[in-house]
Structure 1
Amino acid sequence: MKLTEIYWHLRSDISMIEKELEQNIGAKHPVLKKASTHLLKAGGKRIRPVFVLLAGQFGNYSVKEIKNVAVPLELIHMASLVHDDVIDNAELRRGEKTIKSKWDNRVAMYTGDFMFARAVELAAESKQPEVHDIISDAMVEMCIGEVEQIQDQYNWDQNLRTYLRRIKRKTALLIAVSCELGAVAGDTDSETRRKLSLFGHYVGMAFQITDDILDFVGTEKELGKPAGSDLKQGNVTLPALCAMNKDPELKVKISSTIKENDLGGTEIKSIIEAIKDTGAITCAKQFSDRYLQKARETLQDLPDIHAKTALLQIADYIGKRKF
């Protein structure tokens, strides 16, 4: 089943969110507007707004209220991508030129800042006063996660705990907040809100681990960027950690080969194949599967409504996705 088929029943509400996104990136300055629109038109799964919409259905569902958290959360996600591409010096995203590539680093940074600012501004329109605090706290944690990734670049001695803490801040947090704020906007009870937030955390962890696996097994056409990009940039992800734990000699090879310089395609392919030969992909997949199982268990006691079925199907999709 395709992802869009899972939440087909929400298509009119998602269309509304898409229009709201387009309206709210309309800056007065033409360069900011063009750059923001360029990223929006590149597409995306819009999985965070979907989580907001589905979580809201466990309470008093009102898309007019829920959009006040769904749109800001997607803007925050988009802004973080723009900044990531500057930090990673990435030329492509989703098969299209990045903003930093199409314009330059300065335009990219201010475009990301503009999106962050619009997100905070829009969140203030929510009737729920805690929405602003939750979003602000999430943005702080995300920034810490990004700084930690920069500090840990080319650090081949980092441990599993460091990696898990980093992806929690970088990815899982915003998905957990999407589920939590959907519940808040729907005015659900505190236990439902807690369980949905926990579901988002587990799914978010699995989502990022799957991303990290795909960097080793996906093609450039599937990923929209060259395979092995994370490894080449010195970002130590779970498959690499699993491989280095199993083969200390491989760790020496990786640390001596991948440094702050531009590797050729043949060199990076050789290292990727060596990592895959250790069984590291299976090892990382097991971590992802455990998080997804925890996510499913978290929803067990929630009402058996269509939204619950869709959340469980999304968890299944994340475990099997190829891009």
Structure 2
Amino acid sequence: MATRIQFSRHGGPEVLEQVDVEPLAPAPGEVLVRNHAVGLNFIDTYFRDGLYTPPSLPSGLGTEGAGVIEAIGEGVSGWQPGDRVAYATGPLGAYAEYHNLPARHLVRLPEAIGFEQAAAVLLKGLTVQYLLRQTHRLEAGQTVLFHAAAGGVGSIACQWARALGARLIGVVGSAEKAERAQALGAWATIDSSREDVVQRVLELTEGRKCPVVYDSVGKNTWETSLDCVAPRGLLVSFGNASGAVTGVNLGILAQKGSLFVTRPTLASYADSPARLQGMADELFELIASGAIEVEIGQRFALAEAAEAQRRLAARQTTSSTVLLP
């Protein structure tokens, strides 16, 4: 028998329950992974509370983890039991000792990267990879604006931009977060709690604004972000922490300088096993070289998943959090 965290109804962390289940043999095309570490992400709470709908109830939770292949299903090639792997996409159910998922969602984990490191960074790191290397290919000397620069994705973006020789202006919500973003590699920071973001961008860029603005906040920062994009520049809206952006008047893009806007997702960029592995390899190389440091602020036992989510929602966590089966 093995431990699994699931929920049978939507609600707060209290709906999470620990159950003992018999691991299933992998179906055709699937692998069975024995998790050594599981990633905790805010999106997990959206499935739990009903903002996002799981396929059925009761449902497992989580999509990010790292471990070792225990068994492979019919038709799976290129993998074998004992392989070190990590994953950040696929079906819900990572909050468990064992997780069945299609082999196409796996990435090969090099020996230089630990299981806890991989579970803490893969989803966020792949997000930064497609943002900085594919949605827009960031180049040395470019100046870009990045909202929530001290958060999980932002902290990796600061380091990655520094490694590329780019100048990242990080928008943060406090002096402490500004200090953290700068320590991680932000070229400059803007404290939105006491500074005018648009005015500071104009000052920092000598009136040119930014060719690219990365915005994971959504509704509350939409207009501000548009005002920070240079003519013919790009606004990358990749999250909705404050609510979804709706009712967009496309004429505004013309008024503000023939701007481009995209709403990308990881699934659209990591759309094949080869592309997914290539993205992960670039991330792992930067971690192994020391250019990106993976910070794990909290470790919880798998059985403490509800408490981990409570602290995450209450903003009582720092850096990444992992669950340990």
TMscore range, shorter length: under 0.3
Q: What is the TM-score of this pair, normalised by structure 2? A: 0.26
Q: What is the TM-score of this pair, normalised by structure 1? A: 0.26
Normalized per residue, which structure has more strand? 2
Higher relative contact order (CA 8 A, sep 6+): 1
